[in-house]
Amino acid sequence: MPTSPFAEHTARLARELATALVSEADDTRLAASAADIAARILAAAEAPHTVEIDAPSPGAAHIPFDITPASSPRNPLAPPMDIVWDGERSTCILTLPLQYQGPPGRVHGGIIALLLDHTLGNAANAGERPRSFTRYLNVLYEAATPIGEEIVVTGWAARQEGRKQFMEGTITVNGEVSVRAEGLWITPRENMTLVTSDGAEQR
């Protein structure tokens, strides 16, 4: 489904609420934050068509009507990831707040897998390629990936065999690799017929 300024505004407030919920142990102070956020949701809901936002999030180009928990601007579970494809690689630079934490100070290992799956999937589906899906994803955790610091998620195609694309990726922190991933993306046979360029069936 398409996003809207009102939906994205509300999702941003829902993200603020999630951060407050995992940051504030004192119920009285949490209630003050929650009330403030709820009042701003109510104010916008009174006139949803007049809401304006700064710098709308683009969502992921490879997913029509994105509602995913990774890149959708209107899904509060999504950071949201803003993934850029440069013709060879897909890259997302982001800083994750506390609601994505696993071990103290570190991004949850499952969230790391989510970031990599989505970025490798973006690269696998970039350009004119027919839509493909994850067959397997292997994630190797080499070092801590911090909460509250800028991290860079990158994905690229290592090689292609027919309908198969073998993808690779990393997460880096200050230029050092913290996580490596590899995975296989496969285009369903029926999707191949959607491709009009010569030799598509051999990809």
Using CA atoms, how far apart are residues 89 and 166, in angstroms rounded to an integer? 13
CB of 89 to a second copy, least distance (A): 19
- Residue ranges that bind a second copy, judged by CB under 8 A: 1-2, 4, 6-7, 10-11, 14, 17-18, 21-22, 25, 27-28, 30-32, 34-35, 37-39, 41-42, 44-46, 48-49, 67-70, 72, 74-77, 98-103, 108-111, 113-118, 121, 133-141
φ/ψ bin of 156: left (φ > 0), alpha (ψ from -120 to 50), beta (otherwise)? beta
- Distances in Å between the Cα of 118 and the Cα atoms of 33, 72, 187 are 32, 11, 16
| Closer residue to a second copy (CB): 35 or 194 | 35
Comparing CB distances to a second copy, the nearer of 87 and 109 is: 109
How far apart CA 70 and CA 134 sit, in angstroms, is 15
Phi and psi of 120, rounded to 5°?
Answer: -65, -40
- Residue 198 C-beta: closest distance to a second copy, Å: 28
Q: How far is the CB of 201 from a second copy (least distance, A)?
A: 23
